[in-house]
Amino acid sequence: MKMLLKALVLVSTVLVAAAPASAGGDDALLAGSYWYAFDNITGIQPGARVVVWVTVPPAWHGQEVELGAIEPEPAALLDDPATGNTVIEWVVQPETFTMLPKEKPRHIFFHYDFRVKSRPVKIDPAAHTGGEYDRDSEIWRRYTRRETLLQTDGDILDKAREITAGVTDPVQRARAVFGWITANFTFVPGGRGERDARSILASGQGDCEQYSLLFVAMCRSLGIPARTVTNVWPNATMHVFAEILTPDGTWLPVDISVAQLMRPDGGGMAPADARDFVQALGLPPGDPAYMFGNLYDRRAVVTVGNNISFTSPAMGRLMTFQRMRPGGDAASPEALEFTGLNEDVVHGGFYVIGDQPAGEKEAHELVHLRLADRFFAAGRYDVAEAGCRASLEAQPDAVKAWLNMGRVYMHKQDYYRAEAAFKRALKGGAGNPQEKLEASIWAHNYLGNCYDLLGHRDMALEQYRTVVEMGNNLKGAVDYARKYLDKPFDMYPAWVGAR
């Protein structure tokens, strides 16, 4: 497959003016690509077909978008006028073969390139108070209605009314909801529990997306138009915030999880780390209320809103996705359909920001590294190992690669090398915050597994207790630790695909 070769031919530059009350300084440039890969293809039956849908960075205030190469050529570019998103529909009918040797699997790569210039969004909420909504307008009806994941009645409405008792102005009511969630909820990286507003309210905790869904649902219950917005950070990880529509027609951004990090106590993160994070975004520390109306510039908005709908030529029907981040298996329901491939095919998507793969070989190595967990689940430890080794050659202190190399050694029953790899992961090093956080938690669990298999039960218990005391159930880490506090880890196959 040709990679990264097409000129800017399919989509021209989109220039979006900042919101009326926005002000910005120098533009921040985020250049990169989005990849969706199908790998470990060892059999293709007659009539096989792969269909994938992903959003591209949309028109949004404070953001200029330039799309580059899209490979393979899309079957269609589909618009959802209600949310303003554009969706790529990829359709591939791979050449048929019945079986391949397991050591020579095929792959299908989908990707698009983009350049996004963003500027800070600075809106004074006080300048947009007063006035009434036009409740007959389509935009008011669209963004105040109940939707899947966004309940607006029952306990959601009751709590929203309780929080805003005595407040009549819609902007001030939204500010009160923002302040209540910021002060009362506990941030959990990766989230926990269900992703509908009612479940989030009952749990009192969540990740950035869950905070935003709850905020949006509460605002809608009060007749305030609101929606979620998904962006990708410069470190290629995803983030979700929210925005409300003021009566005068201004979309005002609201970022609750970043606001929590601006609290003096760090909002659940070590205060020094929180300060570093906030300063890296160019935000003033110590004032969580700043994130009600203002937004950092180091981001690329990739999807706006929930319940995105479009008519698919490939499927011949209306498709609706409750969430797209930006698509593929990171959507609900999954934004893909495939038939005629082997059952253990590995697939998934990710962003690459900055330096891009120079060719297909580098792209393949990158897929093996980024989708290592999925290759583990498919039993392809050889593929995961190759990706880890390539990563460590380029970046000897890459925490994610060391964590996964430990898992490879576990599979080979080389427990002492596995122990050493997990300890390297715990030392920290190169990686984005999510990778470092995952390594700092899961390496303890895996060390516990190693010690159990080596007969060092006391050492294993110490590792599991450490995870429980940390209290972060990222990818089920605490649940996993508690399981092996009760009984030793004694059979390796039980560990395969546990995450």
Residue 356 has pLDDT above 60, yes or no: yes
Q: Helix 477-486 to helix 457-470 angle, to the nearest 10 degrees?
A: 150
How much is the pLDDT for 313? 96
Give the integer Cα–Cα distance in Å for 235 and 484. 34
- Look at phi and psi of residue 63 and say left if phi exceeds 0, alpha if psi is from -120 to 50, else beta: beta
Q: Tell me the fold of 121-296.
A: C8orf32 fold (3.10.620)
Strand partners, 332: 323
Residue 346 exposed, middle or buried by CB count within 10 Å (0-12, 13-18, 19+): buried
CA dihedral 454, 459, 464, 469 (to 10 degrees): -170
How much is the pLDDT for 100? 56
Helix (H/G/I), strand (E/B), else coil: 247: coil
- Which pTM value belongs to this model? 0.81
In tens, the pLDDT along 207-253 reads: 899 999 999 999 999 999 999 999 998 888 889 999 999 999 999 99
Look at the alpha carbons of 425, 429, 435, 438 in this order and tell me if their dihedral is positive or negative. positive
> What would the CATH number be for the domain defined by 371-499?
1.25.40.10
What average pLDDT score do residues 129-140 get?
92
Q: For residue 364, give the amino acid letter.
A: H
Helices and strands in the chain: count of H runs, count of E runs:
15, 21
* DSSP E strand stretches across 250-330: 251-254, 294-295, 300-304, 308-312, 317-321, 323-324
Q: Output DSSP code: residue 181.
A: H
How much is the pLDDT for 76? 95
Give the integer Cα–Cα distance in Å for 250 and 245. 6
Residue 496 has pLDDT above 80, yes or no: no
Q: Which residues belong to CATH 1.25.40.10 in the chain?
A: 371-499
How much is the pLDDT for 96? 66
Q: Which residues belong to CATH 3.10.620.30 in the chain?
A: 121-296
How much is the pLDDT for 497? 42
Q: Tell me what the pLDDT averaged over the chain comes to.
A: 85
* DSSP E strand stretches across 296-447: 300-304, 308-312, 317-321, 323-324, 331-332, 336-341, 346-353
Quick check: 242 and 216 in contact, CB under 8 A?
A: yes
What is the pLDDT confidence band of residue 376, given thresholds at 50, 70 and 90?
confident
